[in-house]
Amino acid sequence: MQFTKISLLAGLALGALVAATPAQAEDVTITVWSIDGANQVGPSDTFSAEFDAMDNGINVEYRVLQFDEIVNETLRAYATGNAPDIVSLDNPDFALFSSRGAFLDITDMAAQSDIINPEAYFEGPLNSVSWDGRLYGVGKYTDTIGVFYNKDMFAAAGIENPPKTWAEFEDYARKLAKPAEGVYGATLSARGNEEGTFQFLPVIQMSGGGYENVNTEGAREWLSMVKGMIDDGVLSQDVLSLGQWDSTGTFNSGNAAMAISGPWEIDRMVEDADFDWGVTLLPTFGEGDERSSALGGFNLGIMSTTKHPEEAFKVLEYFVSQDDRLFPEFGYLPTRGDVELPASGIEKKDAALAVFQEQLKYAQPRGPHPEWQKISKAIYDAEQAALTGQMTPDEALSQAQATIDTIIKK
């Protein structure tokens, strides 16, 4: 026992020595934080390594963080003076920092730049990096949601086209559900976190509302419709706790005929689904009514505490200059309209991507609002309260509205 104790302490001391790496004095070092590279190679880690390898007097130190943790780690580091130079955040989290000036205002630098051109970006991603008319970052990549449907099941039920309206969505789902065989009509995610808001907010938006005005007639109708489908076993009750990835997993295994989710599902679906499938736009309330969809994806920004703003901007420019590699190498959709997406040669994948690219035109950001996370909790809590029958849709949305009002008025 005594011996092991000593060797453990020795191990500790050794570990501490290894931890203290010497800093390079001559070159400027830019630190980049992002979630890329944890499971598979992603854009930020790849581009950072490439830039680091270049002999231009700028080194890039890359740190990979978890999705759930990156905002907290950045806040903590910012408060203690250890903030990175560049950080990549989920788009609704961006305003938390940009609204307080924690991101560097790059409006003027971008105006001088040959590479970063704000006008080339889609409106949604651009809004999410803007605050008070100033530019605080650039979109890294984007995504949105649509409806995946199982063409074999549609054919077997004699349904020709995918649903265009929510009424059709319900009608088809009820026809396609086969409770005895464990097959649901559809699946989606109404989980109690950002994912729930991600899928529910577009419904509010397409019925004429927005995050500041959630209690719309359409939203109430939609909640009643989904609640009815859950009660009748057309939708699994577990849509309340499954994330989009797991919920779509049940679609892939043939246990649901339709699934609301996004382009990140495509590769797994191509591999796993042993049936014919397609994607269609998110339904609307009436045919030809206003469309909306969720805007996902990450942004890149330079922290205002950086000691080397110019060098950091150069790194940012390099990242942006590689946007044409996002899709072919990493499967992400760029946030700009001026980047061509080469065909992958996989028929279903290319067809699905075409739909998602069209859907992106209707994608609206969540916020931007510095206290977005609180607004979001009000929205997903309301959705869950209505879908579990704890409150009527009207009560739930009124309560959410009251909470949101106090947040926005501040």
Partner 1 sequence: MTRTYTPWFLLVVALALAAVYLFPLYWMYVTSLKTGSEIFANPPTFWPREPNPDIYPETWARRTMPVFLLNSVIIAGGITAITVILGTGCAYVLARYRNVWIDIGLFCVLMLQVLPASVMVTPLFVGFNQIGLLNYPRTAVVLAAAAKAMPFFVVLVRATFMSVPRELEEAALVDGNSRVGAFFSIVLPLARNGILVCAILTFMSAFGEYIYSKSIIQSPSLQPASVGLSGFLGPNSTDWSSIMAYSAIYVTPILLVFVILQRRIVSGLTSGALK
Partner 2 sequence: MTRFLNALRDGVGFDILLVGAALLFLLALAGAPLVYNVLMSFQQVDMFTLGVLFRPFVGFDNYVAVVQQPEFWMVTRNTLVFVFGSMTGQFVLGFALALFFAQDFPGASTIRGLFLVSWVMPGLVVGAIWSWILAGDFGVLNVILKSLGIIQNNVFWKSDPNFSIWAVIIANIWLGLAFNMLLLSVGLAAIPRDLYEAAELDGANAFQRFWTITLPMMRSTIGAVLSLGLIGTLQQFDLFPALTEGGPANTSNVAGFWSWQLSFQLYDFAKGATVSVMMFLLVLFASVIYVRSTRHEVRG
Q: Give the footprint of partner 2 on this chain (CB under 8 A).
A: 68, 71-72, 75-76, 78-81, 96-97, 100, 102, 182, 184, 191-193, 236-241, 250, 255, 371, 373-374, 377, 381-382, 384-385, 387-388, 390, 399, 403
Of all helices (H) and strands (E), which one includes residue 393? Answer: helix 393-409
Residue 11 contact, options partner 1, partner 2, none, Cβ 5-8 Å cut-off depending on partner type: partner 1
Q: Which does 381 bind (CB under 5 to 8 A by kind): partner 1, partner 2, none?
A: partner 2
Pick one of partner 1, partner 2, none as the site partner of residue 300 (Cβ within 5 to 8 A by kind): none
In the complex with partner 1, which residue's Cβ is closer, 106 or 300?
Answer: 300
Nearer to partner 1 by C-beta: 195 or 317?
195
Helix then strand count (H, E) for the chain reads 16, 12
CB of 68 to partner 1, least distance (A): 7
Interface with partner 1 (CB under 8 A): 1, 4-5, 8-9, 11-12, 15-16, 18-20, 35, 38-39, 63-64, 66-69, 72-73, 76, 79-82, 90, 143, 182, 243-246, 249-250, 252-253, 255, 262, 264-265, 268, 271-273, 296
- Residue 73 interface partner, choices partner 2, partner 1, none, CB cut-off 5-8 Å depending on type: partner 1
Instruction: Look at the chain and count its residues.
Output: 410
For residues 217 and 211, what is the distance between their CA atoms, to the nearest angstrom? Answer: 14
Q: How far apart are CA 99 and CA 136, in angstroms?
A: 9
Selection from partner 1, partner 2, none that 2 binds (CB < 5 to 8 A by kind) is none
State the minimum distance, in angstroms, from the CB of residue 35 to partner 1.
Answer: 7
How far apart (Å, rounded) are the C-alpha atoms in residues 319 and 47? 6
Q: Report how far residue 220's alpha carbon sits from residue 214's, in angstroms, rounded to the nearest whole number.
A: 9
Shortest gap between Cβ of 19 and partner 2 (angstroms)? 19
Q: Among residues 248 and 384, whose Cβ is nearest to partner 2?
A: 384
- Least separation in angstroms between residue 273's CB and partner 2 is 16
Residue 241 contact among partner 1, partner 2, none, beta carbon within 5 to 8 Å by kind: partner 2
Q: Toward partner 2, which CB reaches closer, 158 or 410? A: 410
Instruction: Give the DSSP H/E element, type plus range, for residue 310.
Output: helix 309-321
Q: How many CB atoms lie within 10 A of CB 265?
A: 24
CB atoms within 10 A of CB 19: 7
Residue type, 198: F
Q: Are 166 and 225 in contact (CB under 8 A)?
A: yes
Nearer to partner 1, 197 or 284 (CB): 197
Closest C-alpha to 91, from 158, 141, 164, 147: 141
| Nearest distance, CB of residue 79 and partner 1, angstroms | 7
Helix (H) or strand (E) holding 347: helix 347-360
Distance from the Cα of residue 163 to its chain's centroid: 24
- Minimum CB–partner distance for residue 6 and partner 1 (Å): 9
CB-nearer residue toward partner 1: 217 or 272:
272
Work out the burial of residue 320: count CB atoms within 10 Å of its CB; fewer than 13 is exposed, 13-18 middle, 19 or more buried.
buried
Q: Which does 59 bind (CB under 5 to 8 A by kind): partner 2, partner 1, none?
A: none
Residue 76 CB, shortest distance to partner 1, in Å, is 5
Look at strands 146-150 and 134-135 and give their pairing.
Answer: unpaired
| Binding site partner of 387, from partner 2, partner 1, none, Cβ cut-off 5-8 A by kind | partner 2
Helix (H, G, I), strand (E, B) or coil at 367: coil
Using CA atoms, how far apart are residues 318 and 358, in angstroms rounded to an integer? Answer: 28
Cβ closer to partner 1: 72 or 237? 72
Cβ 148 vs Cβ 259: under 8 Å = yes
By beta-carbon proximity to partner 1, the closer residue of 149 and 166 is 149
Beta carbons of 30 and 308 less than 8 angstroms apart = yes
Nearest to partner 1 of 33, 166 (CB atom): 33
Residues 6+ apart with CB under 8 A from 57: 26, 27, 28
At its nearest, how many Å lie between partner 1 and the CB of residue 272?
4
